Amino acid sequence: MNDCAEIDALQRKFCGQLAGVDEVGRGPLAGDVVAAAVILDPARPISGLRDSKKLSARRREVLVGLIKERALCWSVARASVAEIDQLNILQASLLAMHRAVQTLARQPAYVLVDGNRLPEWTYAARAVVKGDDRVAAIAAASILAKVQRDSELVALAAQYPGYGFAKHKGYPTAVHLQALRELGVTPVHRRSFAPVKNLLARGPAE
């Protein structure tokens, strides 16, 4: 059985009992990494689910409402900036995904996880490369996670003006890097990430 056929077979076998899991926020220099888990209801399908990065912000907002209304259950979880710095971003991402599945109102019979790594857990599971474009439940999770994290970065923009969080969502854009040099490191920046770590190592500008 090839990869696509195996994934399709798993979705059919565990229909209504399969959780899709994805995370958002591995690359940014600031903010938590956010994960979501979703068990879709086969009786209430949602059209247009796909990788959240390929959807407009407006479309994601519409789909979030449909996912929360129609899914059998869903959960959003996170790993904090402190946990990212302590564990490293990969392990923190896996921890956030684990938490998302653990907090589902219904525990799944099987879990499909976007990417090529699985958290250390007891769930029957499979990692699916580019799963957010191949598995509807993973796509739904990616949309929930992205909308949640984006809203948090908009809130951080109000708390820390001048950094541009509402626009770049914490990613290392030229604007963000310039703000870091001029305004310094905030408590929501990831100190283990090279641009932030190097800036801290140099100390305050004279």
Using an 8 Å Cβ cutoff, are 135 and 30 in contact?
no
Using DSSP, state whether 176 is helix, strand or coil: helix
The arrangement of strands across the sheet holding 110-114 comes to 73-79, 33-39, 18-24, 110-114, 125-128
| In a domain? residue 190 | no
The answer to whether the CB of 35 falls within 8 A of the CB of 159 is no
Assigned domain for 121 exists:
yes
Q: Is residue 114 part of a domain?
A: yes
Is it the case that residue 205 has pLDDT exceeding 60? no
Is the pLDDT at 206 greater than 60, yes or no?
Answer: no
Query: Per the structure, how many domains does the chain have?
Result: 1
Per-residue pLDDT tens digits for 86-122: 999 999 999 999 999 999 999 999 999 999 999 999 9
Find all residues with CB under 8 Å of 201, minimum gap 6, and list them.
Answer: none
Q: What is the pLDDT of the chain when averaged over all its residues?
A: 95
Query: Across residues 2-18, what is the average pLDDT?
Result: 92
* Domain span at 114: 3-151
Q: Is 168 part of a structural domain of the chain?
A: no
End-to-end CA separation in angstroms for the chain: 64
Is 34 within the bounds of a domain? yes
DSSP label at residue 191? T
Specify which residues 111 forms β-bridges with: 19, 125
CATH number, domain with residue 33: 3.30.420.10
pLDDT in tens, 112-122: 999 999 999 99
pTM of the model: 0.94
Judge whether residue 174 has pLDDT over 60: yes
Structure confidence at residue 142 as a pLDDT band (50, 70, 90):
very high
1 has a pLDDT exceeding 60 = no
Q: What pLDDT, on the 0 to 100 scale, is given for residue 155?
A: 98
Which is it for strands 125-128 and 33-39: parallel, antiparallel or unpaired? unpaired
User: 145 or 1: which carries more pLDDT confidence?
Assistant: 145
Average pLDDT over residues 148-162: 98
Q: What is the pLDDT of residue 4?
A: 86
Residue 83 has pLDDT above 80, yes or no: yes
Any idea which residue has 């907002």 for tokens?
Answer: 61
Q: Note the pLDDT of residue 202.
A: 84
Q: Beta strands of 17-99 (E only): which ranges?
A: 18-24, 33-39, 73-79
Tens-digit pLDDT profile for residues 29-79:
999 999 999 999 999 999 999 989 999 999 999 999 999 999 999 999 999
Q: Looking at the domain assignment, is residue 188 inside a domain?
A: no
The model's confidence at residue 3, banded by pLDDT at 50, 70 and 90, is confident
Work out the burial of residue 177: count CB atoms within 10 Å of its CB; fewer than 13 is exposed, 13-18 middle, 19 or more buried: middle
Average pLDDT of the residues in 155-161: 98
- How far is the CA of 158 from the CAs of 20, 76, 176, in angstroms? 32, 23, 15
Residue 126: inside a domain: yes
Kindly state whether residue 62 falls inside one of the protein's structural domains.
yes
Residue 204 has pLDDT above 80, yes or no: no
